[in-house]
Amino acid sequence: METAFGQHELSTSLGPIPVRVSGSGGPAILAVHGMLADGRIWDQVAAHLATARGSQIRVVLPDLPMGAHRHAVPDRQALTPPAVAATLAEILDALQISEAVLAGNDTGGAVAQIAVAGNPDRFPGLVLTSCDALDHFPPPALRPLQRMIALPGVTCAVVWMFSRPQLLARPGPLNLVARHPIDPALVADWMRNARQREIRRDFAAFFAACDKLATLAAAQHLRSYPGRAVIAWSRGDRLFPARDADRLAEIIPHARQHPIDDALTFSPLDQPQAVADAILLAMDSMTARE
């Protein structure tokens, strides 16, 4: 399935951010990707949403500066998860969208939690697929890499490592994120951007700034979140503990769990229909208010 997107390049406090928008009118979904990826990880989810509820759904897919972006940020020292979270409201402002369901995957889930905690009225629905949360930001498996990321050559090695098919594009015992094959051309495109010197430096700065203090603080605010949250964790996720899904469901007042089968962290690619269904559940919080 292919979806028609309008292309935008929006000015934000972190510089220009490419954004694609599908659909028109009706409620909006803003979907956030993780590190070393971009908004295309949500394309198949957008295709399923395009056929739901009379196609009256806008899907907003930004390419945020988290390692596979195309434009280096003007001020690398300002590139932190809270700063990326702040750009989400800027993107909605530029598109003249008053509110949106916010969906996050992988690192994008942490960014989504931070954004909702700071501006809950702007995001009346929240969908968290397997992602960083609470005291797992970054996740345990990536903490050794984070501690070394500032050393010479480490960022190049990380990009080279994730360029290997067996670690990202091809499913198998070494692949922590995908149960099913990922288009090698998509992975190659992500890593082509990440290999650029200034983009690598942005990635290293953002990765170094990932800190559990930000997600723990967000969790405290989420205890009073008035919107509907759907926790759509992948069963058997290899990066993010299943207990975090339970803890988030306990913390957020109007949360429900919607586990995703036959998927790892990249559930928007592994099981796009199931992720779209989770988003539709969260959308009910918006339509009920209209």
| Residue 170 in domain | yes
Reported confidence tier of residue 25, pLDDT bands at 50, 70, 90: confident
| Residue 102 in domain | yes
Residue 43 has a CB neighbour count (10 Å cut-off) of: 21
Could you tell me the two tokens for 120?
Answer: 């809950």
The count of domains in the chain is 1
* Predicted pLDDT of residue 166: 81
| Residue 244 in domain | yes
Lowest mean pLDDT among 61-65, 91-95, 160-164: 160-164
CATH of the domain at 38: 3.40.50.1820
| Residue 35 in domain | yes
Asked if pLDDT for residue 1 goes beyond 70, the answer is no
| Residue 1 in domain | no
Q: Which residues contact 265 (CB under 8 A, 6 or more apart)?
A: 34, 105, 106, 129, 130, 131, 176, 177, 178, 234, 237, 238, 239, 240
Could you tell me the two tokens for 10?
Answer: 């929006």
Per the structure, the complete domain to which residue 247 belongs is given by: 6-287
| Residue 10 in domain | yes
Lowest mean pLDDT among 43-52, 96-105, 229-238: 43-52
Q: Which residue has the tokens 């990635």?
A: 203
Starting from the edge strand earliest in sequence, which strands make up the sheet with 125-131, in order?
6-12, 15-22, 58-62, 28-32, 101-106, 125-131, 228-232, 255-257
Instruction: State the chain's mean pLDDT as an integer.
Output: 93
| Residue 270 in domain | yes
Beta strands 101-106 and 58-62: pairing type? Answer: unpaired
Residue 211: is it exposed, middle or buried by C-beta count within 10 angstroms (0-12/13-18/19+)? middle
